[in-house]
Chains A and B, each alone.
Chain A
Amino acid sequence: MIKVNTEDFPWHPGMTVRALLDEKLFTFRHIIVRVNGEFVPEEDYEKQLIQDGDDVLVLHLMAGG
């Protein structure tokens, strides 16, 4: 299990940041991802692995509307 934006979410071996975004249906492009507080650049989404127990923050940057 991992935390995504403070809530529990199932983890599986080999889960990358990209896979997590796909599973969460986070399709908005304008986001910031931090894993255990560390910023993950967009070019690393495909290769950055998420470990069981990680705390992931996916900030959607839209406060406009």
Chain B
Amino acid sequence: MGTILKDYSYTPAKVKRGYSGKSLYINVSDLSIEQKEITDFMKEKFTGGKGFDLWYLWHAVTPETRWDSPENEIVMSVGPIGGITQYAGTGKTLVCSISPLTDMPIDSNVGGYFGPLLKFSGWDAFELQGKSEKEILIFIDGNNGRIQIEEAEDLPEDAHLLAEELTKKYAENEDDMVNISVVCTGSVAKHAYMGMLNFSFYDPRRKVCRFKQAARGGLGTILHDKKVKALVVKYRGVKPNLNDAADISTINKVGVKYHKEMHDLDHKQNKMRQIGTANTIMIMSQYDLLPTRNFQMGGDPETVKISPQVFIEEWLTQGLHDGCWYGCTMSCAKCADHFLLTTGPYAGQRVTVDGPEYECAAGLGANLGVFDPQAILEENFYCDTYGIDLISFATCTAFIMECYQRGQITREQMGGLDLRFGNSQAVLELMHLMSRGEGFGKIAGLGIRKLKKVFVEEFGADPQLLQDIGMEVKGLEYSEYAHKESLAQQGGFAMAIKGPQHDEAWLIFMDMVNKQLPTFEDKANALYYFPMFRTWFGLVGLCKLPWNDIVPADNYKTDSPAKVPEHVQNYVDLFNAVTGRNIDKEELIIQSERVYQFQRVFNVRMGKGERKDDYAPYRSLGPVTREEYLSRQELYDKQLRDFQQLDPETMDLDEKIAATRRYREDQYEQLMDAVYRRRGWTENGIPTPERLKEIGMDLPELLEVIEPKL
């Protein structure tokens, strides 16, 4: 296979206190390879992970750079804690680039082995720039200090085949296959803006390559545009202290304490070890939070058909270790083994399906009106192997379905696809069309923001309705939580830096159910703390799930149980024990804020990152249609009386909908004001020089960007 185009030798840097001190730069236009130093400045200001990614990306691009510009980079880094094996969720890689969906930086976190093996091969971060003329693959041999760039013609397009072939190619024998990790996309990436990156890890019990995804924002589309078929890393010899931790004894102690919690409490709490994140499907439906039929409703009686119990008893293999990095006792990466496919190019084959995670079951299930576990698993498989971001696909398809059912587009305009809610066969056919770049599949792959334009300009759809029901902000599709009744979460989505993804803040229970955030200031404070805290996981190489998807038995005794103080202390201890530094909880937040504010300024530099970019579609804030109002009429009528002193008995339905909209949009404006104040931003959403100075980020290049906006 493949002619070697470049053969590069290097001396792998040994990791010291969590950092190798080197980053790898490859330009695939001219096949140049360079080593860069990780400076003390970078560690101080950006910590690692997403921080390093954004810093390199900033220097690679200009305000004119678009996703397919040669200078755009895909940058990835695992962070200083990444790769330890004594605690759960320590193999997360952060990937950044300029997104085809948002035209600004996207960040996406992903498990799998690639990031840790890359670090142990001597690289804290990896920049991929340029565009190759031919399809190539890049192989990094971390044991022998060798990087090869090869021609990659005639390799399979789809991830499950490609990863298996490359894993076998580079492994010396079956035992060696666990030492290989592949990053690739799938056949959709050449036709759609929502192509994602698969990160593989070999499962020796099942004898298959498994995947986790850097899914959001079109990263796979960018990889394909660079004509890079795959990145492969090989490192043999993972062991507990490859990070050369300053205090291994503390890491062991904290790890043992945590693993005991998992063992003793998980079955009483979230059952992550049985079902993974999909444990919340029924709960979300019962609390009116499960996005159903394009976020119109928050649940459906049919959800019982896709309940956790159904997946546990009928589909998911139980009792196997399912961590996506060594040492993860949360073990939430569940699988349906020997699953028989019934459609598409692999119909009739039995495969292992990684999932479903919550987003999959909610998005490809309820939000499309599909309450069929078998169909969800088949959609799940094809999203993964085709390299589709299933969140963008699900939310985008839900939007298309509603447009169709409301007569905004016709079956003929969709090439004959009968994309009504609940028609899983049509959903699968749309995926197959997308993977081949045919018909309506190619149009659907544009994403909601561009689809709205097509539907209005070419199909004559109503622009206001499409604006109201198209669930995207900044060009990125919403992730899968209904949230009309939580003002804080409306902000948590629409004011998230990269677009409406819940990995910054999930405040629905605190706000809507617990009523812990009664004032704008309370909500703004939560919309400061949680994003700053959760950003930190992406700086250091950690998964967010072990933070609060299991909690200590005595967590209830603490002053702020939602923050799980003991686990926060674990994180402080782990960081200090790995790096030898001495941060506290307050410094942890500052580390995050430095990168958070940097990313906001980066958005400003790319022509985004202002108030105008933080508005939500009205479907996020309240009832767009009569059906939605009527579904919660009692609540909405009460709110007219209590909040606006209006008498709903004297109003017709349209008047009630209009009054509710005026009120809710005003509430959202007030929330924006409060959040901007708390985050140290101007009324227009620009970080102030004073705030940047307070956190040590008044760097000249940042001030140059914001000063014209003040």
Known interface pairs A27-B286, A28-B283, A32-B556. Does A61 touch B562 (Cβ–Cβ under 8 Å)? yes
Instruction: List the count of A-B residue pairs having beta carbons below 8 Å apart.
Output: 66
Can you name 29 A-B pairs with beta carbons within 8 Å?
Answer: A5-B514, A5-B515, A7-B515, A25-B287, A27-B286, A28-B286, A28-B287, A28-B509, A29-B269, A30-B270, A32-B561, A57-B514, A59-B516, A60-B509, A60-B510, A60-B513, A61-B551, A61-B555, A61-B561, A61-B562, A62-B280, A62-B506, A62-B548, A63-B509, A63-B510, A64-B545, A64-B548, A65-B502, A65-B508
Asked if residues A64 and B549 are in contact (CB atoms below 8 Å), the reply is yes
What mask results when residues 344 to 374 of chain B are scored 1 for a CB within 8 Å of chain A, else 0? 0000000000000000000000000000000
B199 located at the interface, meaning its Cβ lies under 8 Å from any Cβ of chain A in the complex: no
Residues of A within 8 A of B549 (CB): 64
Q: In the docked arrangement, what's the CA distance between A25 and B286, Å? A: 7
Residues of B within 8 A of A62 (CB): 280, 506, 509, 548
What mask results when residues 10 to 34 of chain A are scored 1 for a CB within 8 Å of chain B, else 0? 0000000000000001111110100
Interface residues of B in 548-585 (CB under 8 A from A): 548-549, 551, 555-557, 561-563
Q: In the docked arrangement, what's the CA distance between A32 and B509, Å? A: 13
What's the minimum C-beta distance from B7 to chain A, rounded to whole angstroms? 46
What's the minimum C-beta distance from B527 to chain A, rounded to whole angstroms? 12
What's the minimum C-beta distance from A53 to chain B, rounded to whole angstroms? 18
Residues of B within 8 A of A59 (CB): 514, 516, 556, 561-562
What mask results when residues 481 to 517 of chain B are scored 1 for a CB within 8 Å of chain A, else 0? 1000000000000000000001000111110011110
What's the minimum C-beta distance from A20 to chain B, rounded to whole angstroms? 14
| Interface residues of B, Cβ cutoff 8 Å to A | 268-270, 280, 282-283, 286-287, 481, 502, 506-510, 513-516, 518, 530, 544-545, 547-549, 551, 555-557, 561-563
Q: In the docked arrangement, what's the CA distance between A27 and B284, Å? A: 10
Additional A-B contacts beyond A32-B556, A60-B509 (19; CB < 8 A): A6-B518, A25-B286, A27-B283, A27-B286, A28-B283, A28-B286, A28-B287, A57-B514, A58-B514, A59-B514, A59-B562, A60-B513, A60-B514, A61-B561, A63-B562, A64-B506, A64-B548, A65-B481, A65-B508
Residues of A within 8 A of B551 (CB): 30, 61
Q: In the docked arrangement, what's the CA distance between A28 and B513, Å? A: 11
Q: In the docked arrangement, what's the CA distance between A3 and B226, Å? A: 60
Residues of A within 8 A of B269 (CB): 29-30
Residues of A within 8 A of B547 (CB): 64
Q: In the docked arrangement, what's the CA distance between A28 and B281, Å? A: 11
Q: In the docked arrangement, what's the CA distance between A61 and B547, Å? A: 12
| Residue in contact with B506 in the complex, picked from A29, A30, A65, CB distance below 8 Å | A65
| Interface residues of A, Cβ cutoff 8 Å to B | 5-7, 25-30, 32, 39, 57-65
Closest A residue to B287 by beta carbon equals A28
Q: In the docked arrangement, what's the CA distance between A29 and B516, Å? A: 19
Residues of A within 8 A of B282 (CB): 27
Residues of A within 8 A of B514 (CB): 5, 57-60
Residues of B within 8 A of A60 (CB): 509-510, 513-514
Q: In the docked arrangement, what's the CA distance between A58 and B561, Å? A: 12
Q: In the docked arrangement, what's the CA distance between A63 and B514, Å? A: 11
Closest B residue to A28 by beta carbon equals B283
Closest B residue to A42 by beta carbon equals B268
Q: In the docked arrangement, what's the CA distance between A16 and B280, Å? A: 26
Q: Which 7 A-B pairs have the closest CB atoms?
A: A65-B506, A60-B509, A32-B556, A5-B515, A63-B562, A65-B502, A6-B515
Q: In the docked arrangement, what's the CA distance between A40 and B272, Å? A: 25
Q: In the docked arrangement, what's the CA distance between A29 and B510, Å? A: 15
What's the minimum C-beta distance from A43 to chain B, rounded to whole angstroms? 12
Closest B residue to A26 by beta carbon equals B513
Q: In the docked arrangement, what's the CA distance between A24 and B678, Å? A: 34
Q: Which of A30, A32, A62, A63: most chain B CB closer than 10 A?
A: A63
| Residue in contact with A39 in the complex, picked from B506, B507, B556, B562, CB distance below 8 Å | B556
Q: In the docked arrangement, what's the CA distance between A54 and B515, Å? A: 17
Closest B residue to A32 by beta carbon equals B556
Residues of A within 8 A of B270 (CB): 30
Q: In the docked arrangement, what's the CA distance between A38 and B561, Å? A: 15
Q: In the docked arrangement, what's the CA distance between A59 and B549, Å? A: 15
Q: In the docked arrangement, what's the CA distance between A5 and B556, Å? A: 16
Residues of A within 8 A of B286 (CB): 25, 27-28
Q: Which of B286, B506, B509, B548: most chain A CB closer than 10 A?
A: B509
Q: In the docked arrangement, what's the CA distance between A27 and B555, Å? A: 20
Residues of B within 8 A of A63 (CB): 506-507, 509-510, 530, 548, 562-563
Q: In the docked arrangement, what's the CA distance between A65 and B279, Å? A: 11
Closest A residue to B547 by beta carbon equals A64
Residues of A within 8 A of B516 (CB): 59
What's the minimum C-beta distance from B196 to chain A, rounded to whole angstroms? 20
Residues of B within 8 A of A25 (CB): 286-287
Q: In the docked arrangement, what's the CA distance between A63 and B545, Å? A: 10
What's the minimum C-beta distance from B583 to chain A, rounded to whole angstroms? 22
Known interface pairs A27-B286, A28-B287. Does A5 touch B506 (Cβ–Cβ under 8 Å)? no
Q: In the docked arrangement, what's the CA distance between A59 and B551, Å? A: 14
Residues of A within 8 A of B280 (CB): 62
Asked if residues A64 and B544 are in contact (CB atoms below 8 Å), the reply is yes
What's the minimum C-beta distance from A17 to chain B, rounded to whole angstroms? 14
What's the minimum C-beta distance from A7 to chain B, rounded to whole angstroms? 7
What's the minimum C-beta distance from A65 to chain B, rounded to whole angstroms? 3
What's the minimum C-beta distance from A29 to chain B, rounded to whole angstroms? 7
Q: In the docked arrangement, what's the CA distance between A29 and B270, Å? A: 8
Residues of A within 8 A of B481 (CB): 65
Residues of A within 8 A of B502 (CB): 65
Closest A residue to B518 by beta carbon equals A6
Residues of A within 8 A of B530 (CB): 63
Q: Which of A30, A60, A65: most chain B CB closer than 10 A?
A: A65
Q: In the docked arrangement, what's the CA distance between A27 and B547, Å? A: 22
Closest B residue to A7 by beta carbon equals B515
Closest A residue to B508 by beta carbon equals A65
Closest A residue to B560 by beta carbon equals A63
Residues of B within 8 A of A65 (CB): 481, 502, 506, 508
Residues of B within 8 A of A28 (CB): 283, 286-287, 509
Q: In the docked arrangement, what's the CA distance between A65 and B549, Å? A: 9
